[in-house]
Amino acid sequence: MNQYSSLEKALQQYFNFSSFRAGQKDVVEKVLGGNNVLAIMPTGQGKSLCYQLPALLMPGVAVVISPLVALMKDQVDALHGKNLRQATFISSQLTLEEQRRRMDEMGRGKYKIVYVAPERLKSRTFLAQLARIKVSLLTVDEAHCISHWGHDFRPDYLYIREFHGQLPGNPQILALTATATPSVQQDILNQLDIPDACRVVSGSDRPNLYYTAGVFDNDRARLDKLHELLSGRRESGLIYVATRKDAERLASWLSGSLKIAAAAYHAGLEPEERSRVQENFLQGGIDVVVGTNAFGMGIDKPDIRFVIHCCLPASLEAYYQEVGRAGRDGRPALCALLFIHRDRQLQDWIIDNDSLGKEDIVNFMHAYRNSQRDNVSVISCGELEQGGLGETKVRFLISMLERLGIIHLTDRDGDNLYLEAGSEPPTAR
């Protein structure tokens, strides 16, 4: 019996999962086969398992680089919860004594999985302890952070390559992300020396997510829609807004007028306040967090029932990442994109270093809305092109909105597109 036929058994034994999810087995096999690998899987699908299982089966230690300290602790707690004790994290939140203790234990081979923030890679003590043992796998979580083209570039990630060069025995690399445009993917492959054949992209199907979108004339109209969407819902949800002020204002409107337990979250809050909001949300003391895009990276709350954008997301990839937090438990969840013409001034839609003006989207949505008003879901490409949209952009927009599930193309004939709106949103419980 070879190693691979027993993978399911190991999955069951260590994690108590009966089967692999899409993409997982492919990644695990490639890693165990000795390759550097890039895995692109949607948020919530189970990227962690792709390194955790190999880490347990490989001889030495797996070092996992992760950008968020809170996340590392969650992951380690989850592993301990499965009685997998050989996991730890080393972060500057710990006392110096505790950091030293864990590094020392690592050097004595106590751990199979060690989570660190990218700053740690520059620590001499850390390297010295690693030199005493075998590092089998260097895992780079949220690997899009390595790329200038990504929406969340972290300069410390640029050091990973040099760090890898200093490790004895040339360990394998596994990079993971939910969100990488083709150019970001290429950047990751180049920087981390991963062959193209070892890029695993697994489907982004999230059948339990329902997408809907609307464009509004003003804030009042948008608030009415929001009110309608939220009425009767006492469930966990996220609302994304563009600015700190919007976050504060909307959160107090929700708590004051709608009596929803809501809180604001943005980069202007004190760190303690931010952790308090996050903690409270995870524990269910707060139902709705109104946040800027500073909120949510790596959030693993299974029962988020809606993610509503009252702004344009920074990019299509950012949008995927943000709505990907909804419905991880597999039950229906709503993703609504509500924007108004004013949003035009807020952010630039930058997709793949080709900047696609959001006027384009607004124009398109406008045309779409008009077509619906007349109850004839037909859009003329010619009309859009006359409105200043090039052919490529028209095609791109259409495929984007199709990909988001906002429209379905039912037919095209010559210049005309026949459209249908996306899935109906699920009704509130």
Residues that bind ligand ADP (CB under 6 A): 17, 20-21, 24, 41, 43-49, 300
The one of ligand ADP, Mg ion, none whose footprint includes residue 300, by CB under 5 to 8 A per kind, is ligand ADP
CB of 17 to ligand ADP, least distance (A): 4
Q: Of the two residues 63 and 362, which places its CB atom closer to Mg ion in the complex?
A: 63
Tokens 């999962």 identify what position? 17
- What is the chain's percent helix, strand, coil content, to nearest 5? 45, 20, 35
Query: Which lies closer to ligand ADP via its Cβ, residue 107 or residue 324?
Result: 324
Q: Cβ-closest residue to Mg ion?
A: 47
In which region does residue 341 sit, left (phi positive, over 0), alpha (psi from -120 to 50) or beta (all else)?
alpha
| Shortest Å distance, C-beta 383 to Mg ion | 43
172 binds, options ligand ADP, Mg ion, none, Cβ within 5 to 8 A by partner type: none
For ligand ADP, which is the closer residue by CB, 29 or 219? 29
8-state DSSP, 299: -
Which among 46-54, 200-208, 303-311, 373-381 is the span making contact with Mg ion, rule CB under 5 A?
Answer: 46-54
Q: Considering the complex, what minimum distance in angstroms separates the CB of residue 370 from ligand ADP?
A: 39
Q: How far is the CB of 321 from Mg ion (least distance, A)?
A: 11
Q: Give how far Cα 228 sits from Cα of 99, 224, 225, 231, Å.
A: 50, 6, 5, 5
Minimum gap (Å) between residue 58 Cβ and ligand ADP: 18
- Least Å from the CB of residue 384 to ligand ADP: 36
Given the complex with Mg ion, which of 47 and 102 has the nearer CB atom? 47
Give alpha helix (H) positions in 315-427.
Answer: 316-323, 358-373, 381-386, 391-403
CA 82 – CA 49 distance, rounded (Å):
13
199 or 325: CB nearest Mg ion: 325
Residue 99 binds what, of Mg ion, ligand ADP, none (CB under 5 to 8 Å, by partner type)?
Answer: none
Q: Which of residues 290-309 bind Mg ion (CB under 5 A)?
A: none
The residue to which tokens 């660190």 are assigned: 116
| Angle subtended at Cα 66 by Cα 64 and Cα 69, rounded to the nearest 5 degrees | 120
Nearest-CB residue to ligand ADP? 46
Q: How far apart are the first and last CA of the chain?
A: 50
Measuring CA to CA, which residue among 249, 223, 338, 243 is closest to residue 294?
Answer: 243
Q: Which of 317, 315, 333 is nearest to 325 (CA)?
A: 333
Which residue, 52 or 255, has its beta carbon nearer to ligand ADP? 52
* Residues at the site binding Mg ion, with contacts judged by CB under 5 A: 47
